[in-house]
Structure 1
Amino acid sequence: MIENTFRQVNIALVNELATIAPDLGVDIWAALDAAATKPFGYMPFWPGPGVGGHCIAVDPSYLSWRAEQQLGYGIGFIEHARAVNNRMPAHVVSRVRDVLGEEGRALRRARIHVLGVAYKPDVNDARESPAVSVAERLLRGGADVSYTDAYLRQIELDGRMFVSVDATADLVAGCDLVVLLTAHRGLDYDALLDAAPRLLDVTGTLRNRTDAVDAGRLVLL
């Protein structure tokens, strides 16, 4: 529980920094990359759509609940971390709205393709997945959503069944926006970036594609 709480709290820290960095004029990914060059005393964590799975998303909350049952108060770090991470799917959707708005489009009826719905890369587990929460919020906002996930060929989103489709260059080229939420191995993300009109990378996987960032085709969280 301590190990999972450690990760939850540190992920929440970088997620909170990511939400305020633009207002501070800071490139959060460059700042975190710089911090990660320290050879000792620092463990890098990266922003994303939140936390999921049966460990990080659950164990810390149980620990805080247990403390409250026995002591009468929970664990403040855990409660704040949970709140920050739980806000991230809404923050991602807000970023989607911003990116679409720059093109004069609304979320309603926008064609959005999601890359990855599992809670972390290279697993077939969608329990507590923040990517699922993002996709469902997009659907409730009226977007036309499709997704690619080789590990989860079928999934229920907002009460409807969806089937994974291959992320071909033609498919992503026909979308208003592609959103990278879970970076499974096996996809050529550079090729997809080159084919998509615009791509919002929530994971930082493509952050070194400065050419696409400068051209406005790649947007980071």
Structure 2
Amino acid sequence: MSCYKYKHISNDLINIQHYRYKSDVGVERNKPPPRTLVYVGPFADQIKQFKLYSLLLSACGCISIPTIMIYGKEPLIGSLVAGLSTIAPTFFVNYLTAAYVTRLYVDSPTATPKTKPNPSTVLTIETFTYFGRLQETKVKLGDLKESKSRYRWITWVRDPHTTGKRAFYIEKALMRKTSYLKAIVDLIEERSKDKESIKQSEYR
């Protein structure tokens, strides 16, 4: 459709930022192409705080184990259980938030993607590491599909034949509020159905 040109993403959702990697400053030809920020996870800041708090709690627990063992009157096993129990929240928080997408970028030569998303569109997906640092995963749109997991904190999964992070959680309701992001969601859903149909036909 000729009218399918995206003049904007949404000023209500995010402020579009024209982003460039810091690489070989002063040597323009060596700079990777710019990318466009199209999505920001609404709970990214809160999740980072939860991660940092759980890490602090775990650190305090690890420090307290020797103290409890030396000065406490509890049995050894009781001291270990008391100290190690403070580490459990860290694993739990990381398990629930490992797939949460904090930011989503589209490789684009302009500040606003003007072409319809297609399977070759390259996305840069930003998530948190175990220690709350940001990590990026580059993936082609065609390599993503809908998750069939019963867990609601996973939205998309990556093609198992590719390398890198496998699972991602995105706020689909938020993405459907803008035309460009809705097109991304719809494309992944359509391709997921097509792949499932092919698999079912192979087993017949």
Q: TM-score, normalization: structure 1?
A: 0.26
More strand by share: 2
More helix by share: 1
Larger radius of gyration: 2
